[in-house]
Structure 1
């Protein structure tokens, strides 16, 4: 049981760092279809500025409510849609796709991979990140839900 609890805490810290990091690689876009605009030219219905974000974690095999929600603030802009709180150095953004007001991304890390989705509605957003991590040949899955609200301008 101690090993499972320890592994759980490592996974939670890892997932949190990944989920909120924005990763180390900038947005990649493939060649757009004729009717699509490149991601850089698309505008998402998102107020730029300072956001308050609350994350809630669920992990396969762990009791509900074991992890308390975590709230932090970050600045978001039309150039940086993926919420982040800390740096994660061993992950890279594999893809990012903008579809209307929804931003989808995939990340690849040393021992895990995952995908995220955030849907903006002006001054709020809802999102989810699903991760898969391997430990000793076993796969572990986790899901983090995110809720964000715009709280004002960013100050340098």
Structure 2
């Protein structure tokens, strides 16, 4: 299946970051939330959410940097690759099916920007807000998450690197 995210470097999926986060925040199931966040960022890159962006199908490299105030260990950047197919570009609903505990509750697009809010329910209750800015062969996003009195900011930059394998 071409929707699978593939780690590229510096992120022992689902290793170090998630174990450190789970230990530091005492949250169970953070892996599911992290996967939901990455899935959401991939879904938000689809052009049907922003008609001004003519995002192309193909292989995309997605870099993310997480900042968590108060964490004893700085989180290393993450790089994954994701293949957007013609079907993805035509109908984002095909890839939205993700974790049932997280739902996009608000989404507003204007020009090449999309602002959104996502809420996750127990056992990993959290609220996430973000903004994504699109280009033809790139997009960037900033997401803020609050959960159990802790906060996290994720910055994402993505670029098209070629055709899907």
Q: Can you give the 5+ residue segments of structure 2 that lack an aligned partner in the other structure?
A: 1-19
Q: 1:9 to 1:50 in 2, by over 3 A?
A: farther
Deviation per residue, 1:73-95 (Å, 9 max, x gap): 12342543xx99xx433101112
Match of 1:46 in 2: 55
Q: 1:149 to 1:40 in 2, by over 3 A?
A: closer
Structure with more of its chain in helix, by fraction: 2
User: TM-score, normalising length from structure 1?
Assistant: 0.67
CA distance in 2, matches of 1:69, 1:9: 22
| Correspondence for 1:17 among 24, 35, 60 | 35
Aligned length: 133
Q: Can you give the 5+ residue segments of structure 1 that lack an aligned partner in the other structure?
A: 28-38
Aligned residues: CA RMSD: 3.5
For the 8 Å contact 1:44–1:78, the answer to whether it is kept is no
For the 8 Å contact 1:126–1:148, the answer to whether it is kept is yes
Deviation per residue, 1:95-128 (Å, 9 max, x gap): 2222111122210101111112111122122111
For the 8 Å contact 2:83–2:164, the answer to whether it is kept is yes
User: TM-score, normalising length from structure 2?
Assistant: 0.64
Larger CA Rg, structure 1 vs 2: 1
